Structure 1
Amino acid sequence: MTTIRAARAADFEAIGELCVRAYAEAGNLPADDIDYATELRNAADRAAKAELLVAVDDDAVLGTVTVARPGGVYAEIARPGEVEFRMLAVAPEAAGRGIGAALVGAVLDRARQEDAKQVVLCVSEVATAAQRLYRRLGFEPMPERDWLPVPNFRLTAHRLPLF
């Protein structure tokens, strides 16, 4: 049985390695992007400066997501009244089990509890599996907030209104 909970210090190393592996295997981490791999590995910083959730099954870390609020260090596109999530990652061996959708559901629950107007996110143009998940969950494109964090790597913005 998979449980979604706040990450604990004992989870941080597994979360970091899971993120790097999931992003790399999905083609979302350019081989020469050492800075982003370092950021993905730094689960302790995300837990301290945002909200870090983890999906576990018998204490095995199967997925994770970072929940950011406007003005926070990890918010890239969130504005007042919005909740943003980033770095959603699922262990490749756990793909197809609904873990990504469950993590997004936990983000939506938090956003509703905070009376947020919408949930926003950015996803790489090459992250086709993630894009399918977000479309299936009702997220819609928000092209006015698309951006390039590094040259030739476009992130597309999406939103899900919560009214």
Structure 2
Amino acid sequence: MATIRAALPAEHAVVGEIAAKAYADTGNLPADGSYVSELRNAADRAVRAELLVALDGDRPVGTVTVVRPGDAYVEIARPGEVEFRMLAVASEASGRGVGRQLVEAVLERARGEGFGRVVLCVSETAESPRRLYERMGFRRLPDRDWRPTDDIRLLGYYLDL
């Protein structure tokens, strides 16, 4: 069981690398590589949204960015919704439930702050994350599907709280 908390400034570089490596390893980066710098910039996410880290002991093994209305990182959220982005788990922690714990931490925050829905978008090729979200009760939200680049299609999902 990982510990989930806000990422500390000293962890930002490691958290950014976890995100960049996880996306690269699963083939979920645009061909032009443009998204890598955004994934690595965990420090910016910590300032302009909420950056969570999953720890195995004191070692970061996962991350997610929690986005509220008005945050700079909003992509598909509307008023009354929390969005999460850039969920990533280090390969050595894969299959241990870290991703689920991070999503549960997002849901807890959203409920605690009185939000009625959590939304996300995920690459249509990211089968493992999509299975996780669906097992957790998330449903498709096709009217929010979009393409950040010609070679990446993102699928919208939601969970009413």
TM-score, shorter chain, exceeding 0.5: yes
- 2:107 maps to 1:75: no
Query: C-alpha distance in 2, partners of 1:148/1:66?
Result: 20
Q: Which blocks of at least 5 consecutive residues in structure 2 are unaligned?
A: none
Aligned positions, number: 161
RMSD: 0.9
Report the equivalent of 1:99: 98
Match of 2:65? 66
Q: Does the CA-based 8 Å contact 2:48-2:72 persist in structure 1?
A: yes
2:145 counterpart residue number: 146
| Structure 1: runs of 5+ lacking an equivalent | none
2:18, 2:30 → 1: CA distance? 16
Cα distance in structure 2, aligned partners of 1:148 and 1:26: 18
Q: Deviations for 1:47-77, whole angstroms, at most 9, x for unmatched residues?
A: 0000000000121110000000122110101
For 1:78, the aligned partner's letter is A
State the Cα distance separating 1:141 from its structure 2 match.
0.1
**Cα offsets for 1:79-115 (capped at 9, x unmatched):** 1100000000000111110000000000000000111
Aligned AA for 2:6? A
Q: Please identify runs of 4+ aligned residues in structure 1 that moved more than 4 A.
A: none
Alignment of 1:1-163 (within 5 A): 1-33=1-33, 35-162=34-161
Tell me the SS of whatever aligns to 1:101: helix
Q: Percent identity?
A: 61
Asked if the contact 2:30/2:151 (under 8 Å) is kept, the reply is no
Q: Which amino acid aligns with 2:4?
A: I
Aligned partners of 2:90 and 2:151: how far apart in 1? 26
Q: Is residue 24–residue 30 contact of structure 1 (8 Å, CA) maintained in 2?
A: no
